Amino acid sequence: MTFEFKNNIDKLGTAGLFLTAIFSPCCFPLFAFGASAFGLGSFELFGGWTMWIFQAMILISVGGLYISYRRHRCMYPLLIAIPSAAIIFYAYYFSKSENSTYLIYLGMFGLFIATGINYYRNKLHGNCDTCVIYEGKNVELESTITCPNCNHKKTEMMPTNACVFFYECENCKTRLRPLEGDCCVYCSYGTVKCPPIQVGSDCCK
């Protein structure tokens, strides 16, 4: 699963949620006007499958928000999305009120808001599949080391729990060490410095 796809699962779910509602005006009267604008009238796109697809889109949306949370570690989208999804399921399965449809609308717009906040958090932390949160900040782990002896380049993933003091060039077998003043070989020969330096903390000890 590519990063671009994972980063858009919540949008896919939420968009599918609203499209299902718009193209199912009999189940969602509030969206009947939108369906009429498309000349669909009372057309049911999914027929008897409407509510099953609708619920699947809810789960896809919440699942996508959780995947995003694991990267940016911001709880706000989930804190909105989970209660919103719970409201929808409660209205559909347990509520006996004639106004339960309004609870479903409330949950839908809650998921919409959660998706918007998640989009903002993803943009804030950058769309980077080799980035992680380190000491509360977003850092890049991918760095390309260039051997000063033979100019051979190789892209590596930096660890977050230790600095690399020695690195052997796979081409000329030269054993690289940090230059004076640097804490690791990535700071000396890499295109990206190590995580502690990126966040402005002390070098690895």
User: Is the pLDDT confidence value at 62 over 50?
Assistant: yes
- State residue 177's pLDDT score: 94
- Where is the domain boundary, 75, 96, 125? 125
- State residue 186's pLDDT score: 94
Q: Based on the fold, state whether residues 121 and 32 are members of the same structural domain.
A: yes
| Percent with pLDDT over 70 in the chain | 83
Q: Based on the fold, state whether residues 107 and 159 are members of the same structural domain.
A: no
Q: Based on the fold, state whether residues 7 and 104 are members of the same structural domain.
A: yes
Q: Based on the fold, state whether residues 118 and 54 are members of the same structural domain.
A: yes
Q: Based on the fold, state whether residues 151 and 51 are members of the same structural domain.
A: no
Q: Based on the fold, state whether residues 119 and 136 are members of the same structural domain.
A: no
Average predicted confidence (pLDDT) for the chain: 84
Give the residue numbers spanning the domain of 100.
3-125
Q: What is the pTM of this model?
A: 0.57
Q: Based on the fold, state whether residues 50 and 103 are members of the same structural domain.
A: yes
Segment 144-194, tens digit of pLDDT: 999 999 999 999 999 988 889 999 999 999 999 999 989 899 999 999 999
Is 204 a member of any domain? no
Cβ-count burial 114-124 (b if 16+ within 10 Å, e if not): bbebbbebbee
Is 203 a member of any domain? no
Q: Which range, 16-30, 42-56, 100-114, 121-135, is most confident?
A: 100-114
Q: Which range, 32-41, 62-71, 84-93, 117-126, is most confident?
A: 84-93
Sign of CA dihedral 89, 51, 21, 19: positive
**Cβ atoms of residues 49 and 82 within 8 Å:** no
How many other C-beta atoms can be found within 10 angstroms of the C-beta atom of residue 174? 14
How many domains does the chain fold into? 2
Better pLDDT: 135 or 205: 135
- Where is the domain boundary, 125, 149, 180? 125
| Percent with pLDDT over 90 in the chain | 41
Task: Supply 14's token pair.
Answer: 């939420």
Is 23 a member of any domain? yes
Q: Based on the fold, state whether residues 54 and 155 are members of the same structural domain.
A: no
How many other C-beta atoms can be found within 10 angstroms of the C-beta atom of residue 187? 21
- Where is the domain boundary, 109, 125, 141? 125
What is the helix, strand, coil percentage profile of the chain, to 5?
Answer: 50, 10, 35
Is 205 a member of any domain? no
User: Is the pLDDT confidence value at 107 over 90?
Assistant: yes
- State residue 147's pLDDT score: 96
Q: Based on the fold, state whether residues 191 and 91 are members of the same structural domain.
A: no
Q: What are phi and psi of 142, to 5 degrees?
A: -85, 125
Q: How much is the average pLDDT of 66-77?
A: 83
What does the alpha-carbon distance between residue 180 and residue 100 come to, in Å, rounded to a whole number?
Answer: 69
User: Is the pLDDT confidence value at 6 over 70?
Assistant: no
